[in-house]
Amino acid sequence: MSASSRAGTDADDAATFWSDVDRHLVRYAGASRFTPEIIDRAAGSYLFTADGRRILDFTSGQMSSILGHSHPDIVATVRRQIATLDHLFSGMVSRPVVDLARRLVDTLPAPLRKVLLLTTGSESNEAAIRMAKLVTGRHEIVSFARSWHGMTHASASATYSAGRKGYGPAAPGNFAIPAPNSYRPDFVAADGGLDWPRQLDVAFDLIDAQSVGSLAACIVEPILSSGGVIEPPVGYLPALQQKCRERGMLLILDEAQTGLCRTGSWYAFERDDVVPDILTLSKTLGAGLPLAAMITSDEIEQTAHERGFLFFTTHVSDPLVAAVGNTVLDVAHRDALDKRAAELGSQLQTGLASIGARHDVVGDIRGRGLLVGLELVVDRATKESSAELSTQVTERCLELGLHLNIVQLPGMGGTFRIAPPLTATPEEIDLGLEILDQAIGEVTQRLLD
């Protein structure tokens, strides 16, 4: 077959593919469309398209593949485990499950000692909220106004960054408090920075005014990812925990994206010397496979058990993904991924600062380790955002071979969530920075012309 004939066949195949997409797939991403590439395979930090393009993946899949794609240790584990023990009746347990529970506990401070293995972040947060309600005998849940905790009922009811309109009543008793956004402060201190103590006091004054006396828990991310990579200031989480203690509430920390070394430490809460009552993990724990965990204390688990805690799902304690979780821990320990994330994160932030020095549209750079946000604005003084600017930069990056995720929320600029695999090389970090720099330069020049 001639080259021109092959090209014609490839074009026909692609046209059929996208026609089938239009005809048969539910559009599940709101107003966003599917990325206009047919992904054929992935390896390491790269995606490979059906037409032969190589794309550097700075989203780690869905912020999950901390070991990159098709890591050889994960591939070997899946091959071995699928041939011996994949799935069980949910009332049965296996060695991979018990081993993973024990090893997770070993990475955590007391009193976090009891583990429930599940599949997704939504599910782990659902379990955490359900347990908190049962143990406290209350039902009201507090979370950040820029939060994302999942798409199932309780977790979606605690999610405020998107997806609330049009679906009928949320779970009763859900309240939002302002996210402590230092770049866009709503309470301003004398030095012009965010006055987060006053913001937090006012927030809980409002919670107290609205509550019917049934405050059960507060669920927050240590770094709000979908909210625009917002990192609470040092001291905020201990103060938030104290607010919870004063009201008899449990503190749930959702480390779906920050857990397992991504921020330069094993868990993001370590920076703040705070230990949650319940911790949820997902995304990073399975390195791209569906694995999540809810972890709590002996005391809370005992009370929940005495009151008949029920979370009996089809894939609770599945051995296949538990074996993968054990391999993730193996690699994280062996390769010191916490230190690696800190070093690569420093390189990434230095490179982004250099880009910011060259391009006035870079408003803010924030984050920790290999979870970094770059917020674009059209005016640094007013911090005015532009959906057109951020969308065009995203599209140009993809054309140049870099996949980035953009967070666009009302009243905020377009923030790139930059989360490369923890196994990325320094050369790959530099390549991503080079492409981003070029894309920002070309788009801003085009908009100015």
> Of 241, 257, 392, 408, which one is the catalytic site residue?
257
Query: How far is it, in rounded angstroms, from Cα 179 to Cα 448?
Result: 33
> Of 114, 140, 146, 148, which one is the catalytic site residue?
148
Q: What are phi and psi of 445, to 5 degrees?
A: -65, -40
Query: Is residue 210 among the annotated active site residues?
Result: no
> Of 221, 255, 277, 364, which one is the catalytic site residue?
221
Query: Is residue 257 among the annotated active site residues?
Result: yes
> Of 133, 146, 247, 283, which one is the catalytic site residue?
283
Residue showing tokens 């794309």: 55
Query: Is residue 148 among the annotated active site residues?
Result: yes
Strand intervals (E) in 93-214: 112-118, 140-144, 174-177
* Cross-strand pairs, 293: 117, 281
> Of 123, 195, 254, 375, which one is the catalytic site residue?
254
Residue showing tokens 């859900």: 174
Query: Is residue 208 among the annotated active site residues?
Result: no
Query: For the residues of 212-240, what is the DSSP string, one character each?
Result: -S-EEEEEE-SSBTTTTSB-PPTTHHHHH
> Of 247, 340, 368, 417, which one is the catalytic site residue?
417
> What element of type H or E holds 323?
helix 319-334
Query: For the residues of 358-411, what is the DSSP string, one character each?
Result: H-TTEEEEEEETTEEEEEE-SBTTTTB--HHHHHHHHHHHHHHTEE-EEEE-TT
Q: Which residue type sits at 299?
A: E
| Cβ count near 342 (within 10 Å) | 18
Joined together, the tokens standing for residue 364 give: 């803010």
Query: How far is it, in rounded angstroms, from Cα 390 to Cα 99?
Result: 44
Residues that are catalytic? 148, 221, 254, 257, 283, 417
